[in-house]
Amino acid sequence: MSLVSDITALAPGQLLARGVARHLAALGMVTVEELVPTRGLRVDVMALGPKGEIWVVECKSSRADYMTDSKWQGYLEWCDRFFWAVDADFPTDLLPECTGLIIADAYDAEVIRMAPEDKLPAARRKVMVQKFATHAARRLQALRDPAAFAGLG
Amino acid sequence: MSLVSDITALAPGQLLARGVARHLAALGMVTVEELVPTRGLRVDVMALGPKGEIWVVECKSSRADYMTDSKWQGYLEWCDRFFWAVDADFPTDLLPECTGLIIADAYDAEVIRMAPEDKLPAARRKVMVQKFATHAARRLQALRDPAAFAGLG
């Protein structure tokens, strides 16, 4: 795994995710990317708030990227709030009104429409915070000590 | 923050922490370093198990390092199990019997004596998993996107 502070190495959706992560950090939330809440689903950005709030943000770099996503409604049951993150040129009229909207670039982002809240049951929230912690710590160790997961000394 | 896969950059206690983190990963736990459970305390290694188990591991590189630690009993109330991690030359007779013992080097570690379990109350466990998740995700973002916390574009 390589460091990704060189933004030329990032795909368009990852650039949006970087800006989203920066903005959510400024709001006091922490984020991870590519968490798998359940088999067959992988969220672009999962955010955790100070009181255990769970947000999911799906990053769409183009109309085509959005139109081919058949899975997004599956994310709703894994978060309190669901957002799309798109760039300033995206045709936002395409997006369902019942979802949140974030306009982002690689450097920052802004919440344009707050997502409605549909609170997770307590038991599922507990599972998601545990998954978030595990995912973040594994990725952190993989960056700090790459050999730890390669079976090398 | 720099990458620390170059072990020549690590202090003796950090070398032990690296080996501990590798061994605990092999046991199915995830770890972070230098988490602050409460003001004035900073644990060397905090580990999280798949069922939310919280272990604290204090790494002591020498007899002097151990003898000058006046805070370790303060860690007990923040974990289910408490361990010392020391190298193979450490005079382990010094260590209290009621604590766990891990022998470590920079490359791996082994649990020599399992720590007794003193289970966290559910409310505190919830707080600790949340703190663990927040700490791990912040450190991860700081490594992946150093400018995010520097106020730079």
What was the pLDDT predicted at B94? 95
Residue B64 has pLDDT above 70, yes or no: yes
Size of interface A-B (CB pairs under 8 A): 103
What are the tens digits of pLDDT across the range B76-135? 999 999 999 999 999 999 999 999 999 999 999 999 999 999 999 999 999 999 999 999
The two tokens of residue A30 are 């922490």
What pLDDT does residue A153 have?
Answer: 42
Res B71 pLDDT > 80: yes
ipTM above 0.90, yes or no: yes
Q: Which of A23, A105, A130 to mutate to test the interface with B (most CBs of B within 10 A)?
A: A130
Q: Please identify every stretch of chain A with a pLDDT value under 70, giving residue numbers as ranges.
A: 1-5, 150-153
pLDDT given at position B150: 66
In the CATH scheme, what is the code of domain B7-144?
3.40.1350
- Cβ distance B103 to B84 under 8 Å? no
Q: Where are the domains of chain A?
A: 7-144
Instruction: Give the model's pLDDT for residue B70.
Output: 87
Q: What residues does B85 pair with on adjacent strands?
A: B59, B102
**Three-class DSSP labels, A6-31:** CHHHCCHHHHHHHHHHHHHHHCCCEE
Select the residue of A3, A48, A149 nearest B134 (Cβ to Cβ). A48
CA distance B125 to chain A (A): 11
| DSSP code at position A49 | -
Non-local (6+) Cβ contacts of A98 within 8 A are A116
Note whether B111 and B102 are within 8 A (CB).
yes
What's CA B129's distance to the chain center, in Å? 14
Q: What is the pLDDT of residues A17-34, one digit of tens each?
A: 999 999 999 999 999 999
CA A16 from chain center: how many Å?
A: 10
Q: Are A133 and B138 a contacting pair at CB < 8 A? A: no
Sheet holding A54-60, edge to edge: A30-35, A43-48, A54-60, A81-86, A100-104, A109-113
Distance of CA B64 to the CA centre of its chain: 19
Which residue among B129, B148, B153 sits closest to A129, beta carbon to beta carbon?
B129
Q: How far apart are CA B149 and CA A79, in angstroms?
A: 26
Task: Point out which residues pair with B47 in neighbouring strands.
Answer: B31, B55
Q: What is the pLDDT of residue A143?
A: 95
Output the six-digit token pair for A24: 């959510």
Residue with the two structure tokens 């502070």: A5
- Cβ B130–A129 below 8 Å, yes or no? yes
